Structure 1
């Protein structure tokens, strides 16, 4: 066996040295020939006293020896051996999950696929330090997540698995085995595949491919999902009752059963074991425990290998020394002072090089002196110097620079260098663990800085990042002490957040009985709650934040304040779908503290004494309504007939002083186009009257002389059937004008017209009582008054001194 690992460099060196010798001899001969043409060889020592052919040959000999040593070093001489021991890392596990439609069966809860995902997620603690990969399969298979130490990425990919992810339908157990065979590295001595399926191998190729996998060194552990009795395959989403089921082409409902025989045969063919999944994933847990025992045994075994000892360094050092000697050797008979000067200069250069402390050494000294900022600058300088020389940068430099910046408080720079260290040290779990832990510390410090500024939202986001980095570091090194420290840090952060945050929770509902407490029979109302900054009871979306309720009216939000107690004005709006045309819901506000006027309150005044949880009840009740209809009583009989329609040319008013006349300060409102009205009012007793717009019209209903109603209203109980009949002859005259005009144009003979009959009827009609005539005169005067109808906005209706705004 040759003592040289790369003997080809010896051959190359021989050729180069021979070429240099030939070149030297040719150049010397050429020089002598040219000099002989100019001067005799005997005169050369006198004309050029420092010229020495012997010393030229000495310099050339040193040069040849230098090249010889370089090529010997390049050929990597080796003699002797040494033993190298190494500790194995974790094992590689590929997890193959069935995503065919049979995994929708609900013989395990919530269904087969979701149970597998939940079980795998809950057992991630069992596989710390191991590389995991994920394969999804049905009729074909696809590698969803390559083998990785990043368990968070594995879990994220696992959560994204859905039925239909693989387009080819059916279940072919040979496909995930094929994909696993391609995914494992050829250098892996231990290859483990966990196959999770209901076992219905529709293609029948699984066992055949498993026997081939056993020859490739793949051990398959199978886990059966479902029940032997089987279950139908619902197509309804989880959370909804199973009503629609998968059928075959003949229209028969398909029942999917667990096939343990095929799964057990596949496992036994490869030296693996079969387990049923169980209701809480016990089978998967037992499988991972077996694999961990294999991994622990592997870690206890120290791998030993015999390696030859590289001996190139002495030859490289000798080549460097010969190069210096060649440079110091004069080409002629120089004086000793020239030699001394050169040696002195070389000594100074070497001395300066020895005394010069590199950037890394200076950085370490700065850290010992307690100056991390200075150390960070030295590390930065070393990184920049390495980059300018186009050399690869050691990941440790990035890591040390990040740690120094972190200790110095330069969080942005620390984040950049630590991220670079992770990118550059993918194959070094120890550096990865240190870098991840440092990033966790970095975001922990950021969390505290955000909390100092009372920005809980950013603090929570930073803390979530810190937890991810801590967890990733813990999965790499499995340090239990680090896990305990993480729990302590988490408790500290949560305590700080809780000292700043108040949680306001509550419900919007329809308070049917008015007791202010939500009952089972009282429905929740969907809407939103907002901070009424200006206190006007209206929501300004540009500057007043809001929070939506759920379908049942529940809501919750956090309030952050630097000091307590603090007061808020909160209001709410409900969706239009919560009410109807006959039911108008309005909020019930509690009476505010004095000296505020309870009659004009427009929101809930919430006082938060200290951080914690605050409950807010927002009841709504049906507003008291006056509901009725005004109709045109054409025949004046006071009975509404099917041919008589609604009447809009009238004004309704609430008589407050009992004079049955519309006064200026009394509430008025108009009926709709069809004569109907539904007027919201405060709870109480009202005298409801009507005044036709035509002073000649008569109120025919109600039949009593005052033509009014005495009505009582309250929340959730309106006063209805407040109907008024009005006979307005002017409308009948307008309707008959057109045919009368035709009769007058068609005949010149005098005849008794309807108009004359109407006139006679008016003349023959009995005069109205004096008090009624006086009432009409009063109403005519009030028509010109400044009274306005009530604004339909419920919030503007004034209430009695009850603390509610109607």
Structure 2
């Protein structure tokens, strides 16, 4: 505990003066009783024991605590809260235009994402990644909810799908620099430890799971796991699938859960299927960052003053009951 106005402690100098004054009053009362006894008057013997000092003691204690409240004490209180970074990684390949989730896989994901963003506390930063055949961080981690929602609204389906690039771009958003799979000489990194450890972060991978790229998404998930990042895959679509039109061709597309389950298992996340907009919203609600605590200073003047008031009330009550007056 710290004191905002420590100089107010000088007011405590009055406390020993009150104690001295109280003891003097007791001596005067005893001398008066003895004087009356010498004149032949019968005086009741004074009450002995600590109880006779309870009322005055409470009043002096109240004054002491009241002086302490004048210093404006500040206490450090541990408060639970959520903090960290969540990356919303959207699959924007052509298959995400499929309508087996109404109005489409991508539009349903975007609608549920808006609800998720609005529910997060200000201490949670959110980033947006769009991945298809390649991936791009469209919004770096920020607490600006309007910027996040704008980035989500701009997403449109096109191209192929690389789940590995989706995970690696999510890591790039968290780390703040490009991240590639270990051993990728073309990308220029072979050191897993270079990205550090980033606990309290998560990548929400929104995809139908149809991986059309050669890069292994499980290797990317291993890198995320080493960095302390959970990947929470959300499967969009139905196993039965549907047919979409791409450049005049009819292409069958269906939910592929195998890779998504492996990614979740590797990083300690949880795979969830969202076959319709309602279940997708429920999936978002189930994604929570870990609760942590932080020390926040709070001025506790009012609490200390309340204790002083209780002591004052107690001392006054005891004094009135024992001798019919407060002082």
Q: TM-score range by the shorter chain?
A: 0.5 to 0.7
Aligned ranges 1:465-544 → 2 under 5 Å: none
- Aligned partners of 1:281 and 1:194: how far apart in 2? 17
Greater RCO structure (CA 8 Å; 6+ sep): 2
| Distance in 1 of aligned mates of 2:203 and 2:248 | 30
**2:160 equivalent in structure 1:** 170
TM-score, scaled to structure 1: 0.23
Deviation at 1:203, TM superposition (A): 2.1
Q: Which residue of 2 aligns with 1:271?
A: 268
Give the conservation status (yes or no) of the 8 Å contact 1:102–1:256: yes
Gaps (5+ residues) in structure 1? 1-83, 236-244, 248-252, 305-806
| Equivalent position SS for 2:206 | strand
Change (3 A) 1:210 1:246: farther
Please give the alpha-carbon distance, in whole angstroms, between the structure 1 residues aligned to 2:206 and 2:82: 26
| Cα distance in 1 for residues equivalent to 2:268 and 2:258 | 15
Closer, same or farther: CA 303–207 of 1 in aligned 2, 3 Å: farther
Q: Which of 253, 257, 260 is 2:257 aligned to?
A: 260
Q: Would you say the 8 A contact 1:103–1:111 is kept in 2?
A: yes
Q: CA RMSD in A?
A: 2.5
* Residue of structure 1 equivalent to 2:139: 145
Pick closer, same or farther for the CA change 1:302–1:123 going to 2, 3 Å: closer
Q: Secondary structure at the match of 2:221?
A: helix
Distance change (3 Å), C-alpha of 1:192 and 1:284: farther
1:125 and 2:118 are equivalent in the alignment: yes
Quote the Cα distance in structure 1 between the aligned partners of 2:236 and 2:84. Answer: 25
Inter-partner Cα distance in structure 1 for 2:248 and 2:272? 28
In structure 2, C-alpha distance between the alignment counterparts of 1:160 and 1:197, rounded to whole Å: 17
Q: CA deviation at 1:89?
A: 5.5
The structure 1 residue matched to 2:169, chosen from 159, 171, 179, is: 179
Indicate conservation of the 8 Å contact 1:139/1:170, yes or no: yes
Pick aligned residue for 1:96 from 89, 96, 107: 89
- For the residues of structure 2 that align with 1:272 and 1:178, how far apart are their CA atoms? 16
State how far apart, in whole Å, the 2-side matches of 1:201 and 1:223 are: 14
> How is 1:715-734 mapped onto 2 (pairs within 5 angstroms)?
none
**Pairing partner for 1:198 from 208, 212, 230:** 208
Paired with 1:105 and 1:246, the residues of 2 have a C-alpha distance of 15
1:218 aligns with 2:234: no
SS at 1:107 equivalent: coil
Give the number of equivalent residue pairs.
199
2:19 corresponds in structure 1 to none
In the alignment, the residues of structure 2 paired with residue 215 and residue 132 of structure 1 have an alpha-carbon distance, to the nearest angstrom, of 21
Cα deviation, residue 86, structure 1: 6.5
Structure 2 Cα separation of the partners of residues 222 and 284 of structure 1: 14
Over 3 Å counting, the alpha-carbon distance change for 1:207 and 1:275 in structure 2 is same
Kindly provide the CA deviation profile for residues 603-659 of structure 1, in whole angstroms up to 9, marking residues without a partner as x: xxxxxxxxxxxxxxxxxxxxxxxxxxxxxxxxxxxxxxxxxxxxxxxxxxxxxxxxx
C-alpha displacement of 1:278: 3.0
1:246, distance to aligned residue in structure 2 (A): 5.0
Q: Within 2, Cα distance between the matches of 1:203 and 1:273?
A: 23
* Corresponding position: 1:158 with 2:152: yes
Stretches of structure 2 lacking an aligned partner (at least 5 in a row): 1-75, 176-195, 297-327
The one of 214, 233, 240 equivalent to 1:229 is 240
For 2:282 and 2:142, locate their aligned partners in 1 and report how far apart those are by CA, in whole Å. Answer: 20
Distance in 2 (alpha carbons) for counterparts of 1:215 and 1:161? 30
In structure 2, relative to structure 1, the CA distance for the partners of 1:128 and 1:227 (3 Å cut) is same
CA distance in 2, matches of 1:281, 1:254: 26
